[in-house]
Amino acid sequence: MAKLILVLGDQLSPALSSLRDVQPQDRVLMAEVASEANYTPHHKQKIVLIFSAMRHFASVLQQQGIQVSYIDYQQKVSSLTEAVAIELSRYPELQQICITECGEYRLEQEILSWQMQFQRPVVLMEDDRFIASKAMFQHWAQDRKQYRMEYFYREMRRYTGLLMQDGLPVGGQWNFDASNRKAMSAKQQLPPILKFEQDDITREVIALVQQQFPNNMGNAEHFSYAVTGKQARQAFLHFVEHQLPLFGDYQDAMQLDEPHLFHSICSMYLNCGLLDVRWVCQKVELAYKEGKVPLNAAEGFIRQLIGWREFVRGLYWLLMPEYKERNFLNAQTALPGYYWTAQTKMRCMQQAISHTIEHAYSHHIQRLMVTGNFALLAGLSVDEICNWYLAVYADAYEWVELPNTLGMALFADEGVLASKPYAASGKYIQRMSNYCKSCSYDVAETTSPTACPFNALYWNFLERNQALLSGNARMQLSYQNWYRKSDEERAQITEKAQQLLIHLEQL
């Protein structure tokens, strides 16, 4: 039976399950469709990455003798369903539709409608590029009152054998996170990020994006990311050699005008399929065994992948679609315009957002403790901020973005993902960065006209949510500090916070 094999823009892996048994009579379909490109205003460089990587991958498959039908964006196909309908009308001999399970619930629902619509069996294959299958995660989660990444991570270490010896974690402990929170001196030398020259395919895509998506964030002409598996592996090995040795120490640090520091930016390659998570982790483990990187760096990096990345995917599929509707703290405030422009006097926000605009990237502490923390403190709309993160980052797909934003950054899931809200005043940002030294606001002040907005908003966050949060054991110290303040001081802080919220757009 001849099959139609659909390969999505985040499935650009030669070992993809749906491609393993491809036969000469089968056809692979890849399509740049309007609904996927436009359901959120994706960053221009994100679209370039996906479209260029798709076209390069299609070329590789064709070179292997596989029949590939490629629908580019200018053919104006509105949806994947329309693309499948066009292909089946052209090749009625294709009697089965085969696809590796996708990364977004809404798209899965569309795919599940095809069997009835096209009167052909639809075979949905497991995405075993991930270490934990959906069934494996569901088994782990069964009967648990709380889902905590740390315990799942330990199971993944045992399952994979990564950084394990005789059934025990190398170094005698599972987690070296306490060693990974150093602030960085401005004198610290930073290694360069590996960039790639644009080839003809990428330049063609850039021209398309500039024409078709003129109002989306970013500048496509600045694009310099990997678009093939070979380039992505080259970029990652460059990271292992030059950045990974200090990644552990400084993974939570932030520096003025330095978007990359010691981070790998490999998430965008992993999430679209150009890198394989097992290969990546094995290279990191090997670097540790060869004495090229310290244990806290190797463990911290591997934890982000086989711990956090696998964990959020498992939770997403376990809890959707209800999960997306959660808004525990009733956050409703409209997203300020500077999330799109970086035109704000808050230096930390200006830095994180300007890096996002320029690179379709900012590292995880900027996302969690700057833009995410501000959204939490200001009570920004959960829907709007989730859509923003999904749109502006090149590594963002809903399975990974939604739990990280709704759960980790916004605590909108009532603690399913995180045991406490990651709320912090300006003091955290001062401790972990040099942003505050050049800021228009004074991080040492809370209620003065030039006080750092994070400070009053932090205390106001505690005050307005105390009925929901004061019973959280991990919030007790914060509330004790709030209650220690005099009635007059609390009133002044509350008044300051209310003024900040009224004039949020002007901050």
The whole-angstrom separation of Cα 320 and Cα 106 is 10
User: Is 312:405 a contact under the CB 8 Å cutoff?
Assistant: no
Which spans in 64-199 are helix H? 80-90, 105-112, 114-118, 134-141, 149-160
Tokens 């030398």 -> residue: 189
Predicted confidence at residue 142, as pLDDT, reads 93
Predicted confidence at residue 262, as pLDDT, reads 85
Dihedral angle, C-alpha 34, 73, 57, 83, nearest 10 °: 60
Predicted confidence at residue 1, as pLDDT, reads 85
Dihedral angle, C-alpha 156, 149, 363, 358, nearest 10 °: 90
The whole-angstrom separation of Cα 182 and Cα 323 is 34
Predicted confidence at residue 317, as pLDDT, reads 97
Amino acid identity, position 300: G
Give 358-422 as a 3 state SS string: HHCCCCHHHHHHHHHHHHHHHCECHHHHHHHHHHHCCCCCHHHHHHHHHHHHCCCCCCCCCCCCC
Q: Where are the domains of the chain?
A: 2-125, 134-191+243-319, 338-506
Predicted confidence at residue 436, as pLDDT, reads 95
pTM: predicted TM-score of the whole model, two decimal places:
0.94
Amino acid identity, position 466: Q
CATH class of the domain comprising 2-125: alpha beta
Give the Å distances, CA to CA, from 164 to 106, 278, 326. 38, 15, 38
Strands 27-31 and 2-6, bridge-based pairing: parallel
The whole-angstrom separation of Cα 239 and Cα 305 is 15
CATH class of the domain comprising 338-506: mainly alpha
Positive or negative torsion for Cα 108, 111, 117, 123 = negative
Query: Which residues in the chain come in under a pLDDT of 70?
Result: 179-180
Predicted confidence at residue 189, as pLDDT, reads 84
Predicted confidence at residue 358, as pLDDT, reads 96
The whole-angstrom separation of Cα 497 and Cα 92 is 64
Predicted confidence at residue 50, as pLDDT, reads 97
What are 98's two structure tokens? 């085969």
Half-sphere exposure at residue 100, Cβ-oriented, CA atoms within 13 angstroms: 27
**Regarding the domain delimited by 134-191+243-319, which CATH topology (the fold level of the hierarchy) does it fall under?**
1.25.40
Predicted confidence at residue 208, as pLDDT, reads 97
Predicted confidence at residue 145, as pLDDT, reads 85
